[in-house]
Structure 1
Amino acid sequence: MSSEYQNYYVPHQSYWPIVGAFALFLIAVGAGSTVQQIGTATSWGSYMLYAGIVTLLFMLVGWFKNVIDESMSGLYSAQMDRSFRQGMSWFIFSEVMFFAAFFGALFYARMVAVPWLGGAGNNEMTSQILWPNFEAVWPLVMTPDGSTTEAMPWQGLPLYNTIILVISSITLHIAHVNLEQGKRKALTIWLAITVLLGAAFLVLQVEEYIHAYREMGLTLASGVYGNTFFLLTGFHGLHVTLGGIMLFILLLRVIKGHFTPENHFGFQAGSWYWHFVDVVWLLLFVFVYIL
C-alpha cells in the first residue's frame, strides 16, 4: 500500500453542521414569512431572515477557520485531498440539480402549461374560463386579477451583469494561472478584481429588483412569470453571494501567504464554484431574459 493512503485525518466532532442547518431553517421560514407579510404591518419574518443570514455567516467563518487551521497544520494527506475533490464535485452536482428543478419549472410553465391553458391541441379550455383577454404567450405578464406587468428586458442591467460575470471568470482564471506560476502579486491583484466584480454584480441586481418593483410592477405576486423570474434570479444571487464570500476568504488567505503552486485545492474549489455560478447565469440570461 502506498504511503499516501496510510494516514487519513478524522476531525473531532463539530457543531458547525447543526448551526448551518439551523441557519438555513431560519432563512427558509423567514424568507417565506417575509414574502407573505409584504404590505402588512408585521415584520417578524424579516427579523428571522436577518437572524438566519447572520447565523449562516457566523457558521461559514467558524467552519472555514477550522478547515484552514487543519490544512495549514499539515493534517491533510493526498487521500484527504482526493476526498475533498470528490466532495466538492458532488456538492456542485447537487447545485446543478437544484437549478435544474427551477429551470424545469420554467420550461414546463412556458412550453406545456401556458399552451394547454390556451386550448392547445385537443384541450377545450378557453380564455373565458380563465380571465378576460387571456393570451397563451410567454412571458405571461397578465395576472388573474386583470393587472398587467412588464417583462424584464435583457438590455440594460441584465446585460451589464452578464458582462461583469463573464469578465470575473476570466480574471479568476488569470489569478489561478498566476498561482500555478508562483506570481503572488499578480495573483492577489486579479483575485481582488474578481471579488470586486462579484460585489458589483450583486449591487446591480439589487438595483434591478428595485426597478422591477417600483417602476415595472413586476413582483413575486405577478403570476407564474414573476414567480419564476424572482426564484431563478434570486437563488442565483444567493449563490453569487456565497461564491463571493468564498473568494473573499481566499483573497485573505492569499494575502497571508497561503497556497502554493503544488498545493492549492482550496483555491481551486472556490474557482470551480464561481465558474459554475457564471454558467448558471448565462443560462438564466438566455432562457429567462432573452427567449
Structure 2
Amino acid sequence: MTEAASGPGHYYVPHETHWPIIGSIGLFALVGGFAMYLSDMPFGGTISILGLIATLYMMYGWFGTVIGESEKGVYHDWEDRSFRMGMGWFIFSEVMFFAAFFGALFYARVYSIPWLGGEGTGAATHTVLHDAFTAAWPTNGPAAVGGAFETVGAWGIPALNTAILLTSGVTITFAHWALKQEKRASLILWMTATWVLGAIFVGFQAYEYGHAWNDLNLTLNSGVYGSTFYMLTGFHGFHVTLGAIMLIVITLRCMKGHFTPRHHFGFEAVAWYWHFVDVVWLGLFFFVYWL
C-alpha cells in the first residue's frame, strides 16, 4: 500500500446503493409486524416474517458488497479506522440495549415489588391496589394472576451453557492467534469449534425454553418474572444466533483464503461481538438464574 493510497485525500467513497432503503423497510416490517403479532392484530406474524426475509436479504447483499470491496483492496488505513469506530459504537449501543433490560429487572426486583408490598414510600400502595399481595421474588402478580410456575435452576442447562460460551471465547482467541501466525488450518479448526459451540448453546436454550414453558408453566404471562426472563434470555439467544451465523461466514471466508495477519478487521469485528455476547451472558446467569 503506497503512502498516497492511505492519505486523507484517498478515502474510499462507495457508490450509491439500494441496500439502506431495503434494510429500513425490512426492519420496520419486522418490528412493526412483531408488535402487531403481540397485540393479536391480523397479519402481524406474516408481516414480521416478510420483514425478516427482507432484512436477511439486505444483510446478505450489503455485506457481500463490502466483502468484495475489501478483497479488491479499496480499503486502507482511513477506512479501517472508520470500520473500527463504527463497530465500537455499535457494540456500545448493544451495551445500552441490554443495560435497559437489566435496569428494568433491577427496578422491578428492588423497588416496584417492595413498594407494592407496602415498604418505603409505597406504604399504602398495597392496601389501595391489592392488600393480599406478597412482596416476594419471583412474583406472578396479585392473587397469582400469572398462574403458578417454577423458576429455571441455575445449575442445570444455564451453568452448562455458561461453560460452553466461555469455552467459545477461548476458541475464537486461539483462532485469532492462528490467523496472526498464518496457520490457516488451525484458524479454520478453531473457528469451526467456536460456531459449533454457539450452535450447541442455542440448541440447549431452545430445549430449556420448551421445558420451562411446558413443564414449569413459566410463560410470558407469568408475571413480571416471566416477561423479564424471556425478554433477557430471548434477546441474548437472538444475538448468539446472529453471532454464530457471522462466525460461519467468517469461517467460510477463511477457507477461501481471506484475511492476512495485518488486514483482518472483518474477523476482529465478529470476535469483538462474540466476546460481548459472552460478557452479557455472565450478567444474565448471575442476575436472572442465580440470584
TM surpasses 0.5 = yes
* Contact preservation (8 Å) 2:91, 2:273: yes
**1:10 alignment partner in structure 2:** 13
Letter in 2 for 1:10: V
Give the share of equivalent positions with the same residue, in percent.
51
Shift of 1:105: 0.7
Between the aligned partners of 2:89 and 2:222, the Cα distance in structure 1 is 35
* Contact preservation (8 Å) 2:247, 2:270: yes
| Match status 1:87 vs 2:86 | yes
| Match status 1:76 vs 2:44 | no
Q: 1:23 aligns with which of 15, 26, 29?
A: 26
**2:113 alignment partner in structure 1:** 114
| Matched positions, count | 286
* Contact preservation (8 Å) 2:116, 2:133: no
* Contact preservation (8 Å) 1:26, 1:49: yes
Between the aligned partners of 2:90 and 2:175, the Cα distance in structure 1 is 23
Shift of 1:56: 1.8
Distance of aligned partners of 1:142 and 1:282 in 2 relative to their CA distance in 1, 3 Å threshold: same
| Match status 1:123 vs 2:122 | yes
Between the aligned partners of 1:66 and 1:143, the Cα distance in structure 2 is 54
* Contact preservation (8 Å) 2:140, 2:148: yes
- In structure 2, the residue corresponding to 1:139 is in which secondary structure? coil
The 5-angstrom pairing of residues 122-271 of structure 1 reads: 122-125=121-124, 127=126, 129-131=128-130, 133-142=132-141, 144=143, 145=145, 147-271=147-271
Letter in 2 for 1:26: A
Shift of 1:262: 1.0
Shift of 1:32: 2.4
Shift of 1:279: 0.4
The 5-angstrom pairing of residues 56-75 of structure 1 reads: 56-75=55-74
Shift of 1:164: 1.0
Between the aligned partners of 2:147 and 2:79, the Cα distance in structure 1 is 57
Between the aligned partners of 2:112 and 2:101, the Cα distance in structure 1 is 15
Shift of 1:30: 2.6
Between the aligned partners of 2:121 and 2:245, the Cα distance in structure 1 is 52
Unaligned runs of 5+ residues in structure 2 are: none
Shift of 1:146: 6.3
Shift of 1:232: 0.8
Between the aligned partners of 1:53 and 1:244, the Cα distance in structure 2 is 17
**2:36 alignment partner in structure 1:** 33
- In structure 2, the residue corresponding to 1:216 is in which secondary structure? coil
- In structure 1, the residue corresponding to 2:138 is in which secondary structure? coil
Shift of 1:53: 2.1
Kindly provide the CA deviation profile for residues 20-77 of structure 1, in whole angstroms up to 9, marking residues without a partner as x: 222222221232233344xxxx873222222222222211111111000000011111
Distance of aligned partners of 1:173 and 1:210 in 2 relative to their CA distance in 1, 3 Å threshold: same
Q: Is the deviation greater in 192-201 or in 44-53? A: 44-53
* Contact preservation (8 Å) 1:106, 1:228: yes
Between the aligned partners of 1:266 and 1:146, the Cα distance in structure 2 is 45
* Contact preservation (8 Å) 2:182, 2:261: yes
User: What's the TM-score once normalised by structure 1's chain length?
Assistant: 0.92
Shift of 1:233: 0.9
* Contact preservation (8 Å) 1:153, 1:289: yes
- In structure 2, the residue corresponding to 1:138 is in which secondary structure? coil
* Contact preservation (8 Å) 2:132, 2:142: no
